Chain A
Amino acid sequence: MSSMVKKRLHQGQLVTVVSVLALLPVQALAQSPYVDTSKLKPHVHMGPPPIITAPSHIMGRAEHQFKQIAVENTPGAADKVAKAKKSAKISAGIDGSIKTVAAQAGHRGAEGFLMGSLRKDHAGAYKGDDGEKLQFGYDRTMGQFVAGMTPNASTELKFVGVMDRLSDDKQPHHPMDPNTTNRHVGKGFLTFKNIAGLDTLQLHGTGIDLHREADNYSLRSNAGTKMRVNVDREIFELGATGTFKLNGFENAVGVSVKRDDHNAQRFNVTAGDVINSYRFPGVEQTGLSLWGDSKVELQKGSRAKLGLRYDYLTAEATKGNVTPTTGNGFFDQSASALYSTYYGVNDTEVTDHNISAKVKLEQDLSISNGMLFGEIGRLVRTPSNIERWHALSGPTAGRWIGNPNLNPEKHYKAEIGVEFKGDGYKAYQRSKPEGNAWKTKFSAYYDKVNDFISLDKARGQSGVLQSDGATVSRNVDATLIGGSAEFEFNINRNLSSRLVATYTYGDNDTDNRPLYQVRPYEAYWLLDYTDDVGVAGTWNVGSKVRFSGRQDRLDDDNSTALGMDNDGVSGAFTTLDLYGGLQLYNQVGISLGIDNVFDKHYNEHVTGEHVASTTKSAVTAPGRTFFVRAVANF
């Protein structure tokens, strides 16, 4: 289903396309495996927001933690300026309380290519439900460069560097603010064609450095105990991928090794800046992944794809036995002691052997360019560090203890979908000269999850030895079901409309209760018009109606469950966005609009977390918001 709904622009992954300028190639940086377990994430995202990569620097809307929409406004006239094949581009704008400036430049020749991109966002407070300004805001600087050499037609060497520095990230719903989140990513790719019997051979390496600082006094007044947290994480990965054809099968095989070091400590500043918790106690992980994919055309109009993957991981909390020395018994407990207290686990070294597989069949249909697909798979996810190693000591109800004893999460997932389109459909707002230009897609999935990793409160339930209300991790069985429907119609090349609807269901089968943080059903309706400005340019107007249903299946009681869900201020809500734009000579453009025209007061059911928090959050989303962005190229 996820493919049916466009993700927010800022949610691009690092390994996706980085082609932002005319002369850079549109090609994947890495040859991604079909079974990619690294993309499996915990049920709830808790941590820094996704990195915004260069393709979204110039025109992408700023990330907003408390406004989470699945379907963006349709790109308008000004986006053509941003995407024009020019060497340099700049943009600046205001989006409610967020100001943005961005610039990019690049060049590609036969011998190589170079691209640099920079963006800066400054977010300020906005009014909440009660009319008072919320403790919200951040400063964010994002940069990216891509450099490459093509010494000959068979060889390409490419480097990608990404910087994302988030500061003064105020969290109105949380007791701490991350005042520094610095992420630096470097990737290198060396690709050969037609070598050693392979069509392609790609060697790649990745280095990621994360440094994060948070406290409860720099960005807010605090007369009580001052605390701060430092987080450091370094990840290095090396890998190789080869592709080859054999007897009509297109095959790919790959191997990668990974090293991941993760440290975090909390300090009591008031008491002399002493460590009072080893939150991530020197977690060192080493992984190995082997994978192979194959795809084949079974017969005309019928295709099959198969993938197999093995992930090995060994991990250890190297500082598991280090005990804080604050003199307060609630805090002075080592990670190992906490694991033992809550789960009876005495070994801080674990090993996972995960085997995943997936197969997909596609069948072209004889009516309306139809295509039917079905996919089944077993996908295994290793627990995240928060789920497995978190060791936040303190008063019992405030503790958050990961579980080294967790089993990897096993998804047995089946998905089916069908798509039809008219002969004249090329894309939304793009019609061919002949034929009806419409498209419709439906898909649904059923995901039976064994050993689903659930956050919970310690109540002495199976596998948990305490009943003190601390946040814990445990394996349960769960069921996830979802579906989506989408219809697009280009009435003509000027006027188009689009409907998207999604539904998700989640249940904790073991405890017979709803899963927390399951998105309510949603629907989006977009209507877009575009036309010429004489012979000089183009303009567009559009509207987007978003309807979000009320999520009645809640996990909102922390005495019987996790208690993370909040019924919200408004439950179901409907918002209207109006937007438009103008561009002249494909060189200058302006995009502007009003989000939430009727100033609807609402909050998202799924809380947008920049921090690890399981407490209820009901932060009001922005009300009526004006935005404008100017863009130019050279």
Chain B
Amino acid sequence: MTDISRRKLLGFSAAAAIGASMPSLVFANKKPLSNLTLWGPPVGPSLALAHLTNNGNTRKLVDGLNFKAWRTPDQLRAGIVSGDMQISGIPSYVGANLYNKGMPVQMLNIMTGGLLYMMSSNDSVKSLEDIAGKTVTMPFKNDMPDLVFQYITAKTGMKPGVDFQLTYAATPMEVVQMMMIGKADIAILPEPAATATILKGKMGAVNVRRVLSIQDEWGKATGGPARIPQAGLLVNKALVDDHMDVLKALQADCVRSTQWVLNNPANAGILGEDYLGVKAPVVELSIPYVNLETTLAVDAKKEMEDFFTKLAELSPKIIGGKLPDADFYIGL
């Protein structure tokens, strides 16, 4: 099985993971839960988590419900492995990998149908085929954007290094900066970095376009829906065992808050600036492209398994060598 590398965990942000934590406070079901922290990366689905900590019904079951954005993959990795992060946003395939490695974790839900886009400042690039002979830049080599893009291009018969070139950067914002200074003109980016590229381009006379949705291309390549069950909440099993009532409320709040975010992008933009550290206009304008929707993991099981199967075609190690069994998917 592959290890959960720093780069892979960096991919969480690219994949819009969401997370949570509860610092070692798993009590018997009868005791009220206190000081539960939901962890999430600075991307769209975390907006729903931030919102529900202020307005959700879960607050009635938890004395001290908080949200924190994790800032580094090391922070996330340490939190998950130690159990300090009892609920954590995470790319779904990473959750499967951890589960298959024997970590006591389960997937509560999927909160986005994919938020990857091809952005370009090259007017000649209008479709996937137009990258032929050109260089594509993306963050996080061998992680979510890269894996998905590899699968899609392979299905079209294009080979990186032969039909087009691939270059990598450490973070999405590094790719954004490369596009602004002309060092890159085609990029695969997650939201909200994709929207940031457009807005920064408008300030800097760089006309960046959203060329295509990777979700759409995924659908074409797989013959399935134009949707990638990309990320959701990973929950520590002890919390599942002892506080299912909280998880039920949390799932209901996630559904409600996701809808609130979609309905109130300007308010969500401010919430995002305050909680995630991303500029409000960027958050606001990215929301229509984040494909926010909250689906209980057990209800998304088939779609997730299809996704894991496609990734395993590239390398079974990506998901820990096998499909996770049914216990991985929480049903409430």
Contacts and interface: CB of A to CB of B under 8 A. Distances in A.
Interface string B128-146: 0000000000000000000
B267 A535 contact: no
A535 B263 contact: yes
B67 A586 contact: no
A131 interface: no
B284 interface: yes
B325 interface: no
A587 to B, nearest CB: 9
Contacts of B67: 433
Contact of B266 (A151, A426, A432, A586): A586
Interface string A392-418: 000000000000000000000000000
Interface residues of B, number: 34
A494 interface: yes
Contact of B264 (A23, A108, A433, A586): A586
A535 B266 CA distance: 14
Contacts of A444: none
Nearest to A193: B204
Interface string B50-69: 10011100000000001111
Interface in A508-566: 531-532, 535-538
Interface string A135-148: 00000000000000
B263 A586 contact: yes
A151 B281 contact: no
A538 B263 CA distance: 10
A68 B114 CA distance: 52
B122 interface: no
A536 B263 CA distance: 6
Given A80-B266, A432-B274, A85 B285 contact: yes
B172 interface: no
Contact of A111 (B205, B263, B269): B205
B71 to A, nearest CB: 13
Given A85-B284, A85-B285, A492-B54, A586 B267 contact: yes
Nearest to B67: A433
Contacts of B284: 22, 84-85
Contacts of A80: 264, 266-267
B260 A532 contact: yes
Given A22-B281, A426-B274, A538 B264 contact: yes
B326 interface: no
A25 B279 CA distance: 13
Contacts of A23: 202
Interface in B180-206: 180, 201-206
Contacts of A196: none
Given A84-B265, A85-B284, A433 B50 contact: yes
Interface in A144-169: 150-153, 155
A270 B281 CA distance: 60
A433 B68 contact: yes
A223 B281 CA distance: 60
Interface in B253-297: 256-257, 259-260, 263-267, 269-270, 273-275, 281, 284-285
B208 interface: yes
Nearest to A492: B54
A153 B202 contact: no
A564 to B, nearest CB: 45
Contacts of A367: none
A532 B208 CA distance: 35
Given A23-B202, A85-B266, A432-B274, A535 B68 contact: no
A95 B207 CA distance: 43
B285 A153 contact: no
B238 to A, nearest CB: 24
A150 B207 CA distance: 11
A303 interface: no
Given A22-B285, A434-B68, A531-B55, A585 B204 contact: no
Interface string A99-143: 000000000111101000000000000000000000000000000
A80 B270 CA distance: 10
Given A433-B67, A585-B264, A586-B263, A110 B54 contact: no
B285 A430 contact: no
Contacts of A152: 205
Contact of B66 (A84, A150, A434, A494): A434
A585 B263 contact: yes
Interface in B203-237: 203-208
Interface string A78-105: 0011011100000000000000000000
Contacts of A151: 205
Contact of A532 (B55, B202, B206, B273): B55
A431 interface: yes
A432 B53 CA distance: 12
A25 B204 CA distance: 11
Given A83-B266, A532-B260, A538-B264, A493 B54 contact: yes
A111 B207 contact: yes
Interface in B153-167: none
B55 A110 contact: no
A537 B264 contact: yes
Given A84-B284, A85-B285, A431-B274, A109 B207 contact: yes
Interface in A558-590: 583-586
Contacts of A25: 202-203
B275 A432 contact: yes
Interface of B: 50, 53-55, 66-69, 180, 201-208, 256-257, 259-260, 263-267, 269-270, 273-275, 281, 284-285
23 contacts: A23-B202, A80-B264, A84-B265, A84-B284, A85-B266, A85-B269, A85-B284, A108-B202, A109-B202, A110-B204, A110-B208, A111-B205, A111-B207, A151-B205, A153-B205, A432-B275, A433-B50, A433-B275, A535-B257, A535-B260, A535-B263, A586-B265, A586-B267
Given A110-B205, A155-B205, A538-B264, 20 more contacts: A83-B266, A85-B281, A85-B285, A109-B207, A110-B201, A110-B204, A110-B206, A111-B207, A431-B274, A432-B274, A433-B53, A433-B275, A493-B54, A532-B55, A537-B264, A583-B264, A584-B263, A585-B263, A585-B264, A586-B264
Interface of A: 22-23, 25, 80-81, 83-85, 108-111, 113, 150-153, 155, 426, 430-434, 492-494, 531-532, 535-538, 583-586
Cβ-closest 8 pairs across A and B: A110-B207, A84-B266, A150-B205, A535-B259, A535-B260, A586-B266, A153-B204, A493-B54
